[in-house]
Structure 1
Amino acid sequence: MPGPDRPWNHNTHYHPFVLAAVPPGSRAALDVGCGEGLLTRELSAVVPSVIGIDRDGPILQRARTHAGGPGIEYLQGNVLTHPFEPESFDMVASIATLHHMDTATGLSRMRDLLRPGGVLAVVGLPRSRWPQDLPYAVAGVVAHRWHRWRRGGEAEMAAPTAWPPPDTFAQVGEVARRLLPGARLRRHVLWRYSLLWSKPVTAGRA
């Protein structure tokens, strides 16, 4: 588990959520939109084989400059079209990437890449609704300032941005309930939400 000296920003803050969701005995994991590969490397500490995939070539080059375990592979490509075999992974993780694609298409693809019993862990960015989301915005500002003070600063987010996110938290929830029955969604401060889903052992491809 990473320590308190891990570079901190709004995305790395939620890495522990993903790491805690890794199913026991996992053999293969996929980090969707891996960026510089920090989460990929953290996953490799608990999963023997980890693939990080990202469309951005320069950021993948930065990922490859970091030391990592022998079970790490970085791929440049689009998770929606890369020829992964269905049900190839025990864990599929995605942080701040789902809003770069159509939500239903992205969740369906990640679902289909999971083996039965595997876990999908998503941390995403919802589009704000005003004035309904004002309390979350205020809480986010307070939390951001506190964590930044506590950490002594904030690490740069090098990945390309897509703003504003296309879907509200409620809209993501509607899609998840349709495609991932039993998925657990939670709204967080720092302008994020989490989605956690375990693929039923008896399920085939939906």
Structure 2
Amino acid sequence: MARRTRRRWNHNIHYHPRILQAVPRGAERALDIGCGEGMLTRELRDVVPQVTGIDLDTPSLELARASSDDIEYVEGDFLQHPFEPASYDVIASVATLHHVDARTGLLRMRDLLRPGGALVVVGVARANLPRDLPWELAGIAANWTHRATKGYWQHPSPTVWPPPVTFPEMQTLSAEVLPTSTYRRHLFFRYSITWTKPS
């Protein structure tokens, strides 16, 4: 399943298995929001028959399309692109939500998901120091350990720093916009939101 990324590691790739494990049984269509060069998109294609990746960055999409997989890559803004509402069984987004207004982004993802479908967001948020210092120190230690054993692959896609929303703000927002969702704080300066849309 992860054969294409085995030689690469970074903070985002580390959480790809979490997304793949959340794919509902029998899922037919998947959307990767902020797909970049398509690493997660191709992994989703291993388990979902029809996969679309969308991103605004032209050079990253050129790398994705060079893989010659039967994946649809869309250059555009997922907030504005005319996707059909409630048309995806699984929607994934990694390190993308902080590039847009978080509430607007979550609402858009919610609307594009079919009833019974799964949404998995792995995001970046801003630490509140000194309260978050233990998390930051643990993340730094884990980061250096993993870099020493796995190396670190720097993705070519644009970055936004610092993130505009804090970890507690994202937790509160996810509970408001996606009731019954599960929010988790992770090492490597990430959080995840997992939600199944009510049928």
Shorter chain as normaliser: what TM range? Answer: over 0.9
Residue identity over aligned pairs, in percent, reads 54
Give the aligned partner of residue 34 of structure 2: 33
Residue of structure 1 in register with 2:161 after alignment: 163
2:46 aligned residue: 45
Q: Deviations 1:91-132 (Å, cap 9, x if unpaired)?
A: 000000000000100000000000000000000011111101
Alpha-carbon distance in 2 for matches of 1:141, 1:36: 26
Q: 2-side partners of 1:119 and 1:49: how far apart? A: 15
Q: Give matches, 1:19-168, under 5 Å.
A: 19-68=20-69, 70=70, 72-151=71-150, 153-168=151-166
User: Unpaired segments of 5 or more residues in structure 1?
Assistant: 202-206
Q: Measure the CA separation in 2 of the matches of 1:13 and 1:147.
A: 10
Alignment match, 2:187 = 189
Query: For 1:78 and 1:110, how far apart are their aligned partners in 2?
Result: 12
Q: Give 2:2's aligned amino acid.
A: P
1:6 Cα deviation from its structure 2 partner: 4.0
Stretch moving more, 57-66 or 14-23? 57-66
Distance 2:61 2:155 in 1: 14
Deviation at 1:171, TM superposition (A): 0.5
Give the distance between the partners of 1:17 and 1:136, measured in 2 at CA: 20
Q: In structure 2, the residue corresponding to 1:111 is in which secondary structure?
A: helix
Q: How far did residue 190 of structure 1 move? A: 0.3
Deviation of 1:58 (Å) = 1.1
Distance apart, 1:176 and its partner CA: 1.0
Match in the other structure for 1:9: 10
- Take 1:140 and 1:23, find their aligned partners in 2: how far apart are those partners? 30
Q: Given the two structures, how large is their TM-score scaled by the length of structure 2?
A: 0.97
Matched position secondary structure for 1:52: strand
Moved over 6 A (4+): none
Note the C-alpha offset of 1:67. 4.0
Displacement of 1:86 in angstroms is: 0.2
| Unaligned stretches of 5+ residues in structure 2 | none
1:204 corresponds in structure 2 to none
Alignment RMSD: 1.0
TM-score (norm. length: structure 1): 0.94
Quote the offset at 1:5 in angstroms: 2.2
Q: Which amino acid aligns with 1:24?
A: R
1:35 maps to a residue whose letter is G
